[in-house]
A and B are shown apart, each in its own frame.
Chain A
Amino acid sequence: MNKWNKKMVKKLLAALLAGGLVLTGCGSQESSSGNPIPSAAGTSGAEAASPTVQKGEKTFVFGDTTFNSENEEANINPHDTYCGWAAIRYGVGETLFRFTDQMELEPWIASGYDQVDDKTWKIQIKDGVTFSNGKAVDAAAVKACLEDLVSVHERAAGDLKISSMEADGQTLTVKTAEQNPTLLNYLSDPYGCIIDMEAGNQNGIVIGTGPFAAEDLVTDDHLTLKKNKHYWNGEVKVDHVKVRTISDGDTLALALQSGEIDAAYGMAYASYPLFKNDYYAFSTITTSRAFYAQMNEQSGILKDDAVRKALAMGIGKEDFVRTLLRGYGEVANGAFPESFSFGRDVKAEPYDPEGAAKVLEEDGWIDTDGDGIREKDGQRLVIRWLTYPSRQELPLLAEASQASLKKIGIEVKVNVAADHNTLVADPSVWDVYAAAFVTCPTGDPLYFFSTHCLDSSAKNRGGYHSDRIEELARQMDAAFDPKERGTIARQMQQQILDDHAFVFCSFLKMSIVRKASVTGLDAHACDYYELTKDLDIEAA
């Protein structure tokens, strides 16, 4: 039996070994960049890299967690829901105007504009701009595109308020149904990408004017692009691009480590340290995605301004950003980052635990039973903090606030609920609602106030009311001069901060992580522009 057993062990082990070889055979590499770079782990993991430079042609592979139908980006047709984000990010589409990193407008496909009256705009289209199929872009092509947009895209129609358009050569005259000071801002929204309507829409693929033309699209999987040989704005350096949808953050990081992708968008903060070395580079910029706490003015305890003021003074924003966000955020004062012209010169309550404690004491909130939590008229100072888990920063903000507010005698009961929309609709079940919101997506400050601070605002969940805010909103609605709008925006921010209606905690710093060999790929404040003609890959 022993003799037989030895034979059998050999046979079984041989079978296992053969199986292993079969598997290894399956894993033989199809291609390699020939340019291995050490992975973040310090090994040569990138040998299985994407073939970045082959036969003199450059291919760039981009991993993105956000390009999917769940974000309403099922294709790249800008006239379909939020698909314009994919069109503009991946360099297929361009808009008439674009945003600088200070969120100020500058011409792009347009060369300039004249405002004839409150409802009439003359927009000049640049000479020499072509679609990726070589067809010239004139006012008639832009008119056809925008007419289709407002007929099929409800949000765009509501924002633009276009009543009629006339095309004459390179001049497009736009009339709006009512005065619309933010027309140019909304024309710069991704849905405003100018596409060739005559070329049609093939399975969600459209013809734009950008540096890349789409070749193939599989929703929730990938988009392949090729260099636009007719690009009007200079030479495009990369020949082929593949955008891969990678929904899992860990997989995204591992794919960049293994070299399968050349750059990544949407990586979790926790993975950043893996790429803090010479082989990778970060492009980071502060965006207007704010993490804020909104006060429930209908809640008994928060009707007391002293409590709201103490909350504003007692939340340790710096600690939250430095420790929990690992520095990948910017401490907020008002509703907009300081890099935006209307984000400066507003004054929020500074972090001052002693001052906050004093405010509460003067208002009669005293810890009489020695349990560390203050009471007044028999009521404990307990705040019900409602937030949601889909933004990784929000549960962390809740924990940070819970810890810092406890130091001044406020107990915070945190409720992190996926079903927060149902809960927040009932003002009797929460005191503070913490959320994330892009306060200035189109470069105009009124958006935040009109969605959050007015009596008619859809997101005025706490029932905040201010006569002055209502008046200032009316003034901004009628103001066309960006400087005047900025001045009003600063006044409005100061008012809501003085009323302690909101505590703005931080702004998201958005990062694109790329291989060091990749250049010309930068993060932008508006989060719209990613792949441009400047994208390049240095050969070994």
Chain B
Amino acid sequence: MRDVGKRLLQLIPILFVITFLSFAMMHLAGSDAVEQKMLNTGETASAETVDRARAELGLNLPFPIQYGRWLKGLVHGDMGVSYVSGKAVMPLFFSKLPATLLLTLLSVLLTVFISVPLGILSAVYQNRGIDLLIRILSFIGNSMPNFFTALVLMYLLAIIHPIFPVISGDLSLRSAALPSITLAIAMSAKYIRQMRAVVLKELHQPYVTGATARGVRFSTILFHSVLKASLVTIFTLLAMSIGSLLGGTAIVESIFMWDGVGKMAADAIRMRDYPVIQAYVMWMAVIYVLVNLAADLLNRLLDPRIRLGEEA
């Protein structure tokens, strides 16, 4: 518990540093929300009008003062107002969260469901036909960028075989299917190889040879010992992926019009919408710290060596 508290306390300096850095980087980017909006609408405004618009948003102030104001608001529970939509950032952010959580849950479930059995198959049949096939598929999956996979899936599963919609209409499984499959394909391609490597390593451990020699059934060895031992590595990797997915997947969310935090962040960066970007950056920091903490705790639970090592 002490360690958990310590890790949570570490969040404070992390949040301070990364919000400052992101604020600074956005200012170095060379334009602001007023300019971006004028560019989009083609508006021809006088210099006075532009200056007034900047002053209304506080963009005319020196960078440290702008950051200080934002920080002061944050301490008081106010994350500001979006420069683009004019809506309060906190409710805006939380309105996008359910979509991202659903997409994360579905794509992780699909990934586990695809990669664990195929990884085991590939390891058990090492260098045989099925292993080769799975490795080739995994290689292809790894090579395809997400946007390409998304377009291929749309074409195959929404146009040629109209099973799923191209654009998501709501937070339903049907709408979430294609973006989830897109994400799961990329992640599974990676995890199949990881799973294969971990299982292969365990299969060559002396305890497997010993158990086989004592006549223990292979399935018992595989599911009771090898798989359990492999889970530590898989959980750590999954934790990292969950962190990344919870941060939203800007490209996939944008292509499928999935209204999650990734799309929100991509739009905010394009429009230099600082308050929304800051909310996103904070969210990313929190989830990475929390997800890593959860992975550590889970590993401790699954691997007695970690617990015993600490106790010793």
Q: Which of A's residues lie within 8 Å of B, judged by CB?
A: 1, 4-5, 7-9, 12, 15-16, 19, 23-24, 26-30, 39, 41, 43-48, 63, 69-72, 74, 81-82, 154-155, 219-221, 244-248, 250-251, 254-255, 257-261, 390, 419, 421-422, 436-438, 451, 458-459
Distance, CA A260 to CA B270, complexed state (A)? 28
B35 proximal to A (CB < 8 A): yes
Residue pair A419, B255 in contact (C-beta under 8 Å): no
**Residues of B contacting A: mostly:** helix
Assembled-state Cα–Cα distance A245/B168 (Å): 11
By Cβ-Cβ distance, the 10 closest A-B pairs, closest first, are A48-B162, A45-B159, A27-B163, A26-B173, A12-B117, A69-B85, A255-B166, A451-B44, A419-B30, A258-B158
Asked if B257 contacts A247 (CB within 8 A), the reply is yes
Are A421 and B117 interface neighbours, CB within 8 A?
no
Which residues of chain B have C-beta atoms less than 8 A from A259's C-beta?
162
B41 near A82 (CB under 8 angstroms)? yes
Chain B neighbourhood of A437, CB < 8 A: 42
CB-CB under 8 A from B270, the residues of chain A are 70
Q: Mark B99-120, 1 if CB is under 8 A from A, else 0.
A: 0000000000010011001101
List, in ascending order, chain A residues with CB within 8 A of B45's CB: 155, 458
Known: A8-B124, A16-B114. A71 touches B40 (CB 8 A): yes
The answer to whether B162 and A12 touch across the interface, beta carbons within 8 angstroms, is no
Contact, CB under 8 Å: B271 / A41? no
- Nearest Cβ distance between residue A266 and chain B, in whole angstroms? 13
* Known contacts A12-B121, A16-B114, A219-B85, then 4 further A-B pairs from the complex at CB < 8 Å, ordered by chain A residue: A16-B113, A28-B174, A251-B166, A258-B166
Task: Please report the C-alpha to C-alpha distance between residue A1 and residue B216 in the assembled complex, in whole angstroms.
Answer: 11
Q: How far is the CA of A269 from the CA of B17 in the complex (A)?
A: 44
Q: Check B166 against A421 for contact (C-beta < 8 Å).
A: no
B154: A residues at CB distance < 8 A:
251, 254, 258
**Nearest chain-A residue to B49 (Cβ)?**
A154
Residues of B within 8 A of A245 (CB): 257
**B44→A23 contact, CB < 8 A:** no
Q: A248: which B residues are within 8 A, CB to CB?
A: 254-255, 257
A5-B125, A220-B267, A422-B31 known; A459+B44 contact, CB < 8 A: yes
Contacting pair B257 A260 (CB below 8 A):
no
By a CB distance below 8 angstroms, the chain B residues around A47 are 162
- Distance of A247 from chain B, by nearest CB (Å): 6
Q: How far is the CA of A395 from the CA of B283 in the complex (A)?
A: 37
Contacts of A26 in B (CB 8 A): 164, 173-174, 177
Do the beta carbons of B162 and A258 come within 8 Å of each other? yes
* A44–B82 CA distance with the chains assembled, in angstroms: 43
Contact residues of B with A, CB < 8 Å? Answer: 30-31, 35-37, 39-47, 49, 82, 84-87, 110, 113-114, 117-118, 120-121, 124-125, 130, 151, 154-155, 157-160, 162-167, 173-174, 177, 181, 217-219, 222, 254-257, 259, 267, 270-271
B113 engages A19 (CB within 8 Å): yes
- Once A30-B174, A48-B158 are accepted as A-B contacts, the answer to whether A260 and B254 lie under 8 Å apart by CB is no
> Judging by beta carbons under 8 Å apart, are B174 and A72 in contact?
no
Please tell me if the beta carbons of A70 and B267 are within 8 angstroms of each other in the complex.
yes
Give min CB distance, A23 to chain B, whole Å: 6
A12 to B115, CA, bound (A): 11
Q: How far is the CA of A28 from the CA of B159 in the complex (A)?
A: 14
In the complex the two chains form, is A251's CB within 8 Å of B255's CB? yes
- Contact across chains for B159 and A39 when beta carbons are under 8 A apart: yes
In the assembled complex, the Cα of A69 lies from the Cα of B92 at a distance in Å of 13
A422 touches B30 (CB 8 A): yes
Contacts of A154 in B (CB 8 A): 49
Contacting pair B163 A45 (CB below 8 A): no
Given A5-B124, A251-B255, A254-B155: A260 touches B166 (CB 8 Å cut-off)? yes
Rounded to whole Å, the gap between the CB of B92 and the closest CB of chain A is 9
B84 touches A70 (CB 8 A): yes
B92's nearest neighbour on chain A, judged by CB, is: A219
Decide if B39 touches A390 in the complex (CB within 8 Å).
yes
CB neighbours (8 Å) of A390 from chain B are: 39
The distance in angstroms between the C-alpha atoms of A205 and B125, with both chains bound, is: 62
A9 touches B162 (CB 8 A): no
8 sample A-B contacts, Cβ–Cβ < 8 Å, listed by A number: A8-B222, A27-B157, A48-B162, A155-B43, A244-B167, A250-B255, A255-B167, A421-B39
Tell me the bound Cα distance from A76 to B68 in angstroms: 35
A41 in contact with B167 (CB, 8 Å): no
A85, B28: Cα distance in complex, Å? 33
Task: Decide if A41 touches B254 in the complex (CB within 8 Å).
Answer: no
User: For B44, what are the chain A residues with a Cβ–Cβ distance below 8 Å?
Assistant: 451, 458-459
Chain B residues whose CB sits within 8 angstroms of the CB of A74 once the complex forms? 84-86
B181 touches A23 (CB 8 A): yes
Q: Which of B31, B118, B158, B271 is most buried by chain A, counting CB atoms within 10 A of its CB?
A: B158
Q: Which of A12, A19, A39, A63 contacts B120 (CB 8 A)?
A: A12
A4 with B159: in contact, given A26-B174, A421-B31, A421-B39 (CB under 8 Å)? no
| A269 CA to B167 CA, complexed, in Å | 21
For B45, B86, B181, B222, the residue with the greatest tally of chain A CB atoms inside 10 Å of its CB is: B86
Residues from chain B with a CB closer than 8 A to the CB of A1 are 218
Q: Are B42 and A45 in contact (CB under 8 A)?
A: no
Chain A residues whose C-beta falls within 8 Å of the C-beta of B259 in the assembled complex? 220-221
Enumerate chain A residues within 8 angstroms of B117, measured Cβ to Cβ.
12, 15-16
Quick one: which of B35, B84, B121, B167 contacts A251, CB cutoff 8 A? B167
Looking across the interface, which residue of chain A has its beta carbon closest to that of B35? A421
Among A27, A41, A422, contact of B174 (Cβ-Cβ < 8 Å): A27
Are A43 and B125 closer than 8 Å at their CB atoms? no
| Interface contact A254-B257, CB-CB below 8 Å | no
Contacts of B40 in A (CB 8 A): 70-72
Shortest Cβ distance from residue B223 to the other chain A in the assembled complex, whole angstroms: 9
Are the C-beta atoms of B166 and A70 separated by less than 8 Å? no
Q: Which residues of B contact A69 (CB under 8 A)?
A: 82, 84-85
Alpha-carbon separation in the docked complex, A74 to B45 (Å): 20
CA distance A27 to B173 in the complex (A): 8
A5-B125, A16-B117 in contact; A254/B86 too (CB < 8 A)? no
Bound complex: CA A520 to CA B181 (Å): 39
Contact yes or no, B162 A44, CB < 8 A: yes
Q: Which residue of A lies closest to B180 (CB)?
A: A23
Contacting pair B159 A260 (CB below 8 A): no
Nearest residue (CB) in B for A256 is B166
Complex CA–CA separation, A435 to B171 (angstroms) = 41
Q: Are B158 and A45 in contact (CB under 8 A)?
A: yes
Residue of B at shortest CB range from A219? B85
Partner of B167, one of A43, A46, A260, A451: A260
* Residues on the A chain within 8 Å of B36, using CB: 70
Q: What chain B residues lie within 8 Å of A219 (beta carbons)?
A: 85, 87
Q: Which residues of B contact A258 (CB under 8 A)?
A: 154, 158-159, 162, 165-166
